[in-house]
Homo-oligomer: A and B are copies of this chain.
Amino acid sequence: MRVITTIEEMQNAILHAKKEGLSIGYVPTMGFLHEGHLTLMEKAREENDLVVISIFVNPLQFGPTEDLSSYPRDFGRDKELAQKQKVDYIFFPSVEEMYPRPSSVTVTVKERTNVLCGKSRPGHFDGVATVLTKLFHVVQPEKAYFGMKDAQQVAVVEGLVTDFHFPIEIIPVETVREKDGLAKSSRNVKLLTKEREQAPILYQSLLRAKEIIIEGERSPQKVISFITEMITEKTNAQIDYIEIYSYPMLKEVTELKGKFIIAMAVKFSKARLIDNIILEINEK
């Protein structure tokens, strides 16, 4: 495994690999790797000759009130974990390397941003799309892997790749869960004992919603009410949002059909958790 810190060196290594006909799988991360990331790397390892991950905490996607400087970092540990996953290259550029001067161009995301978590993070997805445009040009993968835990990010990235015709296939990878169904997250350790016991209710409520939809419920509002009630009754969490949209366009739906996402964010005392499921109902 090689750690590369400059764009030029990374592009040269990629050029070399492409000349040898090697396929490239890519996992972009902000580091502080957890099991979700490892699953992405595992998938990339299975499907490609060469696996590249990047570790870059992208200032562009942090809002002015979001604390960029306190974002957790541990490169030593990340490196060990990547090595275990048989990663070939870690691209680990400095902020100075990625943004040596104010950029003359930026990517603006015009759809799919003003819902779910994007609503409270103006500019966040512009930052994500801009850095991914840069990173995709550096790494030039055939396939890039993203976790479905952040389904909105996957939707935005699918839009970016489709509308800009990147010659890249986006591979969404299912959310990794604890045995009791709780979506894995580095934030779970911040849950109090009682909250940790309640937290599986989030995913359970999504699964119950799935059942009532399969049984015939077609009203988004009724499904949302059902989930709201279940979480309110069985946990002390405060609901940030529970929303249903078409997927991946993230447009409002008045009836549950086609492909759609049920997504939620709830706040426990010291941790805000998100979860979602994607369903598809195709009827005549």
**Interface residues, chain A, with chain B CB atoms under 8 Å away:** 7, 11, 14-15, 18-19, 21, 102-112, 129, 133-134, 137-138, 140, 156, 159-160, 162-167
Contacts and interface: CB of A to CB of B under 8 A. Distances in A.
Highest count of chain B CB atoms <10 Å: which of A11, A105, A133: A105
Contacts of A133: 133, 164
The copy count of this chain in the complex is 2
Contact of A140 (B21, B104, B129, B167): B167
Contacts of A162: 104
Highest count of chain B CB atoms <10 Å: which of A19, A106, A112, A138: A106
Given A11-B165, A167-B11, A105 B134 contact: no
Given A103-B110, A104-B112, A105-B160, 7 more contacts: A102-B110, A104-B162, A105-B109, A105-B159, A108-B108, A133-B133, A134-B165
A231 to B, nearest CB: 31
Contacts of A110: 102-106
Given A19-B21, A104-B159, A159-B105, A137 B111 contact: no
Highest count of chain B CB atoms <10 Å: which of A102, A111, A163: A163
Given A18-B18, A19-B21, A21-B19, A104 B11 contact: no
A65 B102 CA distance: 32
